[in-house]
Amino acid sequence: MYKITILASLLLVTLGLSGQSLDAQIEALEGQINDLERQQESLAEKVETVKLSRIHRDLEAVGLPSENYIKHSALFLEYAEAYEQAKWVAHILTPDVITGTAYRSNDFREDPLVTTGTAEEKDYFLKTPKGDGEFDYDGFGFDRGHLAPSADFRWSKKALSESYFYSNMSPQRPGFNRESWAELEGSMRGYVQDHPTSQLYIVTGPILKEGLPVVERATNKLAIPEMYFKVILDLKEGKAIGFLMPNQKVTYPLISFAKSIDEIEEATGLDFFSKIKNEAEIEKSLDKTHWFPETKKGDVEPIYPPSLPSGHFNTVQAEQHAKANKVITVCGTVVSTRYSRSGNLWFNLDKKFPNQIFSFYIAKKDLANFSFDPEKEYKGQVVAVKGKVRPSDNAVMMQLLKEEDIGLFER
């Protein structure tokens, strides 16, 4: 639309300049272009302002966890002074993120709207000058983990910059912040790309409670959460999901941490989305296939470790034994099978190709050791397989030699 307007305007100007010298015509046209660009920038700023106002309207319309919160351009938060971090942060992930071009600003700073003061740089690391404008950094072992991720605001430089307030930070362990937490944030942006007419209402926060350890070297002794929550609502689809994740490096897939909103409310004591229609129905349900389409292909979650007997491991844990060179028992659901070109029979547990996490096979020459057809016997069944785990290209694997190495697993 802007391009059409510019072309039309330039055409009118060109028609009116036919009597001028070529140099004068060029100068006049370039001046017109500059004027139009300034108009376009002004209009873009007005559009952004209106979009930010709409975010305020929409956040308040669904119901926030409390009425005692601070409003920034695109995120709201309630600050917990005793823990020097937010109790919760609410924002909306809009389809504008798909075409946004603003990226990390890294302008970490204190939040001027928190009257009691927020955490600061010295709560995460010490920076000492070493000359020539360079610094030495002495970190305290924690990342400044965003609660509302900056990448969700890349359509607005102002909103993205405000996501770097320390009120939106929480001390997260690097293996958590940079891996599973980042994966969760990215999966929600991927969801919006797949549902470009939806916007996601998201509330994120740490589980705060008395007795949490603190960052000892930090100036303000900010608390180190053990768990984090995130609740997501697609109001258009009438679907919601929650996540409860430990502040540590985890190897389980995201779906393993999925909860209903009701479960997150019980864990946090907060009330989310209290003003929406069908609140009770939406918050009690958990449709994992909606948020994780791959589950429609037959993938399942790894078996919950505490439910396994001693000496038995699920498919995620199997990777930890890939270099141990000892016999272990791995349990999981046979979700796919296939014969290779060489005649070996392969099984994938819990996840199908190309997302497999654990596979086992029976060599063609060893199939004679089985008094039954292993493929027909175990496809779709929960099994326990015994052998040595070793790494492969995309996952870990095990070779079975005889029928005593596999059997049904009763949960």
Distance CA 33, CA 9 (A): 9
Distance CA 5, CA 285 (A): 49
From the candidate CATH numbers 3.20.20.10, 3.30.750.24, 3.40.570.10, 3.90.950.10, the one assigned to the domain spanning 63-296? 3.40.570.10
Instruction: Give the alpha-carbon dihedral of 384, 385, 389, 395, to 10 degrees.
Output: -70
- Look up residue 165 and give its DSSP letter: B
Model pLDDT for residues 364-411, shown as the tens digit of each residue: 999 999 999 999 999 999 999 999 999 887 789 999 999 999 999 987
| Residue 270 and residue 65 in contact, taking contact as beta carbons nearer than 8 Å | yes
Distances (CA, A) of 155 to 38, 44, 158, 269: 19, 11, 9, 33
Q: How many helices (H) and strands (E) does the chain have?
A: 9, 18
Model pLDDT for residues 387-400, shown as the tens digit of each residue: 999 988 778 999 99
Q: Which two tokens stand for residue 121?
A: 């740089």
pLDDT of residue 17: 59
pLDDT of residue 8: 54
pLDDT of residue 9: 55
pLDDT of residue 19: 66
Model pLDDT for residues 143-176, shown as the tens digit of each residue: 999 999 999 999 999 999 999 999 999 999 999 9
Q: Which two tokens stand for residue 5?
A: 């307007």
| Residue 315 and residue 383 in contact, taking contact as beta carbons nearer than 8 Å | no
Q: Is 37's pLDDT higher than 90?
A: no
Q: What is the rounded average pLDDT for all residues in the chain?
A: 92
| Residue 283 and residue 273 in contact, taking contact as beta carbons nearer than 8 Å | yes
Least confident of 44-48, 141-145, 228-232: 44-48
| Residue 388 and residue 397 in contact, taking contact as beta carbons nearer than 8 Å | no
Least confident of 144-148, 177-181, 319-323: 319-323
Q: What percent of the chain has pLDDT over 70?
A: 95
Distance CA 272, CA 181 (A): 21
DSSP string over 203-226: EEEE---TT--B-TTSTT--B--S
pLDDT of residue 177: 97
pLDDT of residue 353: 83
Domain ranges in the chain are 2-56, 63-296, 305-408
Nearest Cα to 302, choosing from 239, 234, 350, 247?
350
Angle at 177 between CA 171 and CA 180, to 5 degrees: 145
Superfamily of domain covering 305-408: Nucleic acid-binding proteins (2.40.50.140)
Distance CA 126, CA 45 (A): 38
pLDDT of residue 2: 47
Question: What would the mean pLDDT of 222-233 be, rounded to a whole number?
Answer: 98
Question: What would the mean pLDDT of 310-321 be, rounded to a whole number?
Answer: 92
Alpha helical stretches, state H, 347-396: 374-378
- Look up residue 298 and give its DSSP letter: T
379 — alpha (psi -120 to 50), left (phi > 0) or beta? beta
pLDDT of residue 31: 86
Q: Is 11's pLDDT higher than 70?
A: no
pLDDT of residue 226: 98
pLDDT of residue 15: 52
Distance CA 34, CA 38 (A): 6
Higher-confidence position of 177 and 354: 177
Higher-confidence position of 28 and 282: 282
Distance CA 166, CA 70 (A): 13
Task: Say if strands 70-71 and 75-80 run parallel, antiparallel, or are unpaired.
Answer: antiparallel
Collapsing DSSP to helix, strand or coil, 194 comes out as helix
Model pLDDT for residues 265-309, shown as the tens digit of each residue: 999 999 999 999 999 999 999 999 999 987 777 888 899 888 899
Collapsing DSSP to helix, strand or coil, 247 comes out as coil
pLDDT of residue 18: 61
Higher-confidence position of 243 and 134: 243
Amino acid at the residue 113? L
Phi, psi torsion values for 75, nearest 5 degrees: -145, 145
Q: Is 105's pLDDT higher than 50?
A: yes
Distance CA 398, CA 388 (A): 6
Instruction: Give the alpha-carbon dihedral of 92, 94, 99, 105, to 10 degrees.
Output: 0
- Look up residue 148 and give its DSSP letter: S
Least confident of 101-105, 196-200, 392-396: 392-396
Q: What percent of the chain has pLDDT over 90?
A: 75
